[in-house]
Amino acid sequence: MNLGNQETLVRIGFWIGWRIARFTSHLWRQLFRIIQHDTNLVYDNRSYKNRLLLISSGTDISGEKIYQDLIRNNSSKTIQLPKERIKSIHEVVIDLQSAVMYDSSKKMVQGYSSWPNEYLKTNRLPSAAFPRFIIPRVRDSEKVVAFPSTSYYHFLIEDLPNFLHLRESLSGFLLVARKRIPKYAKDVADILELELKQVDEMIKVEESIYVKRNLISGWPDPIDLQKLKIEFEELLFSGKPHLKVYVSRRKSSRSPKFEKELEGILEHNGWIVVNAQDLDFKAQVSIFSRSRILMGMHGAGLANAVWLRSGAKVIELRFKNQSLALQRISKIQAYHHIMHELNPKTSDKENLDSVVNLLQETRT
């Protein structure tokens, strides 16, 4: 056997090992979640009470004042991302599947991923599992920007605004995305007329340009929400919002057993029930910007609250200790936010009745 064949067999062996390692990692994630008894783990470092205090006091995680008119005031269009948040790092490996970047010493680059470290520790493979010589190098450009696509919530609230800020400040870069890019990310790329080079899940690049994340994963930034409204202004409904929309989770996780019955009651009373994952990006912006009332279970679909107009009502059905990110969005955008906690220890009928009673009490 010649040297070329031996090298090919080694590469195939490492590739098979890589796939086995990813499958093993997936099994570990599921086991970890079962142990935690919660598929929606709370990863933020701050306690529930401290974060609620931050929201009620109108301050963000760094203690800066949230100005309520930031989104509504047209003059705020001049506000830009601080230049010190734009970072550059050389000779790195990027895992586009997990949105993790490793430096030349195989250490994870802090502030790159939209996922918190607590999540990454249990949902990513160790960097040592990827021998660098089998990872393809992107040679089309020295400067590379990764187009994010890890999950819809993080994409819409963090990744996409960061990319939009970066595009304003940078030119002459190659934009890369993984080959199995989610539909919502592909929709946005088409709307923005982006030229994407689709590559393998893991790549080596000479220089990566990125925006450093906030301290708390998933914590909305007023400037980012403002950027979304400005960039997609043409897709927003310009008339008077009139719809009552319920975001269903029956096709995904965390759907309560009574949800089908609740949807029937809502539809009978003039609500529209939508499955956000079935809609393309333009349709989501169109429907949600037409909404005066938005309700749903805590989850990624409610991230579309960013398209509502000031004064809208958001009703978030949730279980205790879930993230307060949606309330943060409502605080920034001047929505009327109602958090209704469901009790996992009571019957489905009691939880359903509590939601119906809430709607009656608030005359929704």
pLDDT one-digit tens code per residue, 264-300: 999 999 999 999 999 999 999 999 999 999 999 999 9
Shared domain for 110 and 196, answered yes or no, is yes
Domain, as residue range, for 12? 1-37
Question: Which pLDDT does position 239 carry in this prediction?
Answer: 95
pTM: 0.77
Domain assignment present for residue 157? The answer is yes
Question: Which pLDDT does position 201 carry in this prediction?
Answer: 85
Shared domain for 164 and 247, answered yes or no, is no
Domain final residue pick, 160, 187, 217 = 217
pLDDT one-digit tens code per residue, 177-212: 999 899 999 999 999 999 999 998 889 999 999 988
Domain assignment present for residue 49? The answer is no
Domain assignment present for residue 60? The answer is no
Domain assignment present for residue 50? The answer is no
Query: What's the structural domain count of the chain?
Result: 3
Shared domain for 106 and 13, answered yes or no, is no
CATH number at residue 298: 3.40.50.360
Give residues with Cβ within 8 angstroms of 2, minimum separation 6. none
* Cross-strand partners of 337: 314
Residues of the chain with pLDDT under 70: 1-7, 10, 18-19, 21-80, 116-132, 214-216
Q: Following CA atoms 169, 174, 180, 183 in sequence, which dihedral angle do they give, to the nearest 10 degrees?
A: 40
Question: Which pLDDT does position 83 carry in this prediction?
Answer: 80
Q: How far apart are the first and last CA of the chain?
A: 75
Strand intervals (E) in the chain: 86-95, 100-102, 143-146, 174-178, 197-199, 202-211, 243-247, 272-274, 291-297, 313-318, 336-341
For 325, the enclosing helix (H) or strand (E) is helix 325-333
Domain assignment present for residue 69? The answer is no
Shared domain for 244 and 203, answered yes or no, is no
Question: Which pLDDT does position 1 carry in this prediction?
Answer: 53
Write the CA distances from 43 to 215, 217, 219, 324, integer angstroms: 12, 8, 11, 12
218: left (phi over 0), alpha (psi -120 to 50) or beta: left
Question: Which pLDDT does position 281 carry in this prediction?
Answer: 96
Domain final residue pick, 187, 217, 247 = 217
Amino acid 297 reads M
Domain assignment present for residue 16? The answer is yes
Shared domain for 200 and 242, answered yes or no, is no
Question: Which pLDDT does position 100 carry in this prediction?
Answer: 84
Question: Which pLDDT does position 24 carry in this prediction?
Answer: 64
Q: Would you say 315 and 358 are in contact if contact means Cβ atoms under 8 Å apart?
A: yes
Question: Which pLDDT does position 66 carry in this prediction?
Answer: 38
Amino acid 70 reads L
The owner of tokens 């203690």 is 63
> Average pLDDT, whole number, for the chain?
80
Shared domain for 212 and 110, answered yes or no, is yes
